[in-house]
Amino acid sequence: MTLQIGRRALIGSGLLAAGASTVGLGRLAAQEEAFPDEVLNPVEVSGRDAIPVIGRLPGAQRMYLLQDGQGEHHQIGRMTMTRIARPLETGGGYELMTFRGPSGAEMPLHAHLTSHAAFLVMEGVVELEMEGRVWRMLRGDFANLPPGTAHAWTMRSDRSKVALFTMGSRAGAGFVAMGSPARSAEPVAGAGLIEPNKLARAAMASDFQLRPRRSARAEPVRASNLILPDSAGAYVLADGGGERFGGNTFCARNANTGGQFLFLMTEGGGVGPGIGAHFHARHTEDFFALDGETAAWAYGQDVRIKSGDFIQAPPRHLHGFRMMQPYNRFVGFLTPGIFETFFTRGQPGRNGVGGRGAGEGAQPAPARAGAPPGSGPPGGGRPGGGAPGGDMFRSLAMSARGPDGWPLDVHGAKLPLPPQAPIWQGGRASLEDERLALIQHADTICGGGVLGQVPLSRDLRAALALKPRPEDFI
């Protein structure tokens, strides 16, 4: 019997690689007819508008790279804030800023009335006061701060540094109002406290609101929680905590952010196939480097990011990555959170394992009827486009739906690709070699257990064993 797929035919082998049975193939084909082209078949940004801006804030929603310390600087009391992503760059969707300061530098107790924030310690020792408790936090520790959460932070070592992601476009203006322009990310020696009149100015400029401390400040307690909650609310996670799926560990999922964003730590090691040229039509994906060196594919260019470097990939901008050192780690910040099922494959992960390389990957998934042995959703495609990569991305997109009800938001290049940097030009011996490498990548980095449900590969375990300790960065 011949299966009629419809006007936009799916590739049968690709769908089987994504785990669809013959019955499921027909169902997906029928579903595909209902999806508008702008959802299922968007076209990437190309030409001059797709070329990444390097070394400066672009002032528009473009793909861009900032190295550690680059951005827009403001002196706030004894700290220096560096704006890395402003409403101009994000279409008003979110903001990212870092704060550096010496021991004793502090941000007073306050709340953001409408902005959901994610707080990450990048260097040193920081005390985070939150809802009446004080947590001593080190590099890699994370806090989820929903709107209205009273919080403050104090640097407890020299050269401490935190990153603050805030949703919407209202938080950054308040921090700008309470400071003054600065020339670099380095704090100014001898600076004093934040002036009260500037704190009042911040409240007028944004959703920043000072909060009175109703009792004596609690004694600091080392942050040690490793369990990612399954609901909204304020919480802290120690470095390594969260819900692990292969090489990705969620610090915040849709259940924690109301679907506004996903916050992941991606870890791995060694030069591998990586994720090739692709784009997302409905969400932004950011890469904020912590350890090692990651080669980013940015519209054909080979762009390297190390600790503190940042890349924004807005909707419809081609990007990819591959890891270059024995241990690599970067933050993945995705907004909105419609791509969660790409990482989870609808299965629970290992929550609260933590530790230096102690993660165990995704829980085994039930066997899929009708799928050939060893098949599974590929993790990406080789830069260079063409039918193989496009088919794989199409089958991956149709293998599941996001929370918004549409197919997974991942697409291979449709237009001719630009000239590529030499590192991305090499190909494997055959399509079958490439397909196997992509499946292996999905198993080790994206979870899903597509190769015999192995929790973590030997290579990934070896890489995680090299993970540096937070204490090494104090």
DSSP-assigned letters across all residues of 133-147: EEEEE-TT-EEEE-T
Stronger pLDDT, 458 or 21, i.e. the higher one: 458
Give me the pLDDT at residue 366, please: 32
Instruction: Please tell me the predicted confidence (pLDDT) of residue 430.
Output: 61
In the predicted model, what is the mean pLDDT of the chain?
83
Q: Taking residues 127-143, report their average pLDDT.
A: 96
- The conformation of residue 132, written as its DSSP 8-state character, comes to T
Q: What is the pLDDT of residue 213?
A: 86
Model pLDDT, residue 238: 96
**DSSP conformation letters of 259-307:** TS-EEEEEEE-SS---EEEEE-SS-EEEEEEEES-EEEEETTEEEEE-T
Question: In this predicted structure, what is the pLDDT of residue 473?
Answer: 85
For range 267-290, the mean pLDDT = 89
DSSP helix/strand/coil, 244? strand
Give the whole-angstrom CA distance, residue 330 versus residue 328.
Answer: 7
pLDDT, residue 404, reads: 84
pLDDT for 448: 57
Where does the pLDDT of residue 399 fall: very low under 50, low under 70, confident under 90, or very high at 90 and above? confident
User: Are the beta carbons of 399 and 19 closer than 8 angstroms?
Assistant: yes
**pLDDT per residue over 54-102, tens digit each?**
999 999 999 999 999 999 999 999 999 999 999 999 999 999 999 999 9
Cβ distance 115 to 90 under 8 Å?
no
List of E strands, 86-125: 94-101, 106-112, 117-123
Is residue 197 exposed (0-12), middle (13-18) or buried (19+ Cβ within 10 Å)?
exposed
Closest CA to 112 of 71, 156, 169: 169
> Pairing relation of β-strands 208-210 and 235-237?
unpaired
Token pair, residue 302, equals: 């080979």
Token output for 340: 């969660």
Which class would CATH give 235-473? mainly beta
> Per DSSP, what are the bridge partners of residue 310?
66, 288
Residue 319 is inside which H or E element, if any? strand 319-323
pLDDT at 394 over 60: yes
Q: What angle do CA 307, 329, 141 make, to 5 degrees?
A: 85
What average pLDDT score do residues 177-198 get? 90
CATH class of 70-222: mainly beta
The CA distance from 192 to 70, in Å, is 24
Q: Are 331 and 287 in contact (CB under 8 A)?
A: yes
Residue with the bigger pLDDT between 14 and 448: it is 448
* Both structure tokens of 274: 């990586």
Q: What is the DSSP letter of 470?
A: G
Per domain, the residue ranges of the chain are 70-222, 235-473
Q: Quick check: 450 pLDDT over 80?
A: no
CA distance 75 to 245: 39
- Looking at residue 360, what is its pLDDT? 42
Instruction: Reply yes or no on whether the pLDDT at 409 is more than 80.
Output: yes
Q: How far apart are CA 435 and CA 445, in angstroms?
A: 15
Q: Is the pLDDT of residue 330 over 60?
A: yes
| Rounded distance between C-alpha atoms, residue 86 and residue 92, angstroms | 8
Q: 106 has which bridge partners?
A: 154
pLDDT of residue 371: 27
Q: What is the pLDDT of residue 346?
A: 81
- Digit-coded pLDDT (tens) for 351-385: 998 766 444 433 333 332 222 222 233 233 333 33
Whether pLDDT at 9 is above 70: no
Query: Is 376:452 a contact under the CB 8 Å cutoff?
Result: no
Give residue 246's pLDDT.
Answer: 85
* CA–CA dist 72, 82 (Å, integer): 5
Tokens of 64: 């861009």
Helix (H, G, I), strand (E, B) or coil at 154: strand
Task: Tell me the helix, strand and coil percentages in the chain, rounded to 5.
Answer: 20, 30, 50
What local confidence, expressed as pLDDT, does residue 43 receive? 95
Topology agreement, domain 70-222 and domain 235-473: yes
User: Is the pLDDT score of 103 beyond 90?
Assistant: yes
Distance CA 288, CA 162 (A): 13
Tokens describing residue 60: 């528009």
Confidence at 474, pLDDT banded by 50, 70, 90: confident
So what's the pLDDT on residue 423?
A: 80
Helices (H) and strands (E) in the chain, counts: 11, 28
More confident residue, 125 or 369: 125
Phi, psi dihedral angles at 378 (to 5 degrees): -70, 155
Tell me which of 18-22, 320-324, 389-393, 449-453 is least confident.
18-22
Q: What's the pLDDT score for residue 462?
A: 87
Cα 31–Cα 33–Cα 34 angle in degrees, nearest 5: 70
